[in-house]
């Protein structure tokens, strides 16, 4: 009889201690959880609930960031004020290099703190792991790698687009040769049409 009493008491004590510590407290923008770039974030929801979880991320103006996770049930706010007013920002682009989903990718306009709101969605499930990464490679035009004319470039796999830049001399003709990839030449980052392509 004593054994059952102690076991029962111990289980009750464990539930009392474990219960509050497992609850997520980042349910409002002013209690947003700080994100560390590259770390795995676990968002846990009750299926069918209207729970929301808030996160915040310090960004550097001019730098690119990516959320390599399906873009469902996700809002981005460019400041605490925007989060408070629920004025979501949608001026981001996508990286289509992932199988089965498009990853949100954005360039921070200035130094500051961005807020991210997540909520339950049947397409991503009640528990999902995600992260925010700092884009430092040439998957974006701003980070184009410099190449010299008459050189061979081995393009790595894993991304749909890789950007390179070189200097051309006015009045001369140039050609590109590719094997297993398409190449387009743009006059600048953000240009909507290319000057030549093959």
Q: Alpha helices of 49-174 — where are they, by DSSP H?
A: 80-84
Characterise 123 by phi-psi region: left (phi > 0), alpha (psi -120 to 50), beta (else): alpha
What's this model's pTM, rounded to 2 decimal places? 0.77
What is the reported pLDDT for 168? 84
What is the reported pLDDT for 157? 76
Domain boundaries defined on the chain? 24-135, 138-198
What is the reported pLDDT for 80? 97
Q: Does domain 24-135 have CATH number 3.40.30.10?
A: no
Per-run averaged pLDDT (10 residues), the chain, 198 residues: 45 38 78 96 85 95 95 94 96 91 94 95 85 92 88 81 86 82 82 62
What is the reported pLDDT for 178? 81
Residue 121 class from Cβ within 10 Å (0-12 exposed, 13-18 middle, 19+ buried)?
middle
């Amino acid at each position: 009889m004593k054994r059952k009493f102690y076991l029962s008491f111990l289980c009750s004590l464990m539930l009392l201690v474990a219960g509050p510590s497992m609850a997520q407290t980042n349910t409002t923008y002013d209690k947003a959880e700080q994100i560390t770039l590259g770390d795995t974030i676990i968002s846990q929801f009750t299926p069918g609930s209207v729970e929301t979880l808030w996160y915040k991320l310090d960004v550097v103006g001019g730098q690119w960031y990516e959320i390599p996770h399906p873009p469902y049930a996700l809002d981005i706010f460019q400041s605490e004020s925007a989060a408070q007013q629920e004025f979501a920002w949608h001026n981001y682009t996508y990286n289509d290099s992932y199988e089965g989903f498009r990853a949100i990718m954005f360039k921070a306009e200035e130094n500051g703190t961005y807020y991210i709101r997540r909520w339950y969605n049947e397409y991503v499930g009640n528990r999902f792991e995600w992260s925010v990464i700092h884009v430092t490679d040439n998957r974006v035009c701003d980070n184009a790698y410099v190449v010299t004319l008459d050189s061979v470039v081995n393009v790595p796999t894993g991304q749909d687009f890789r950007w390179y830049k070189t200097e051309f001399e006015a009045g001369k003709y140039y050609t590109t040769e590719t094997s297993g990839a398409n190449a387009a030449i743009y006059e600048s980052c953000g240009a909507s049409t290319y000057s030549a392509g093959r």
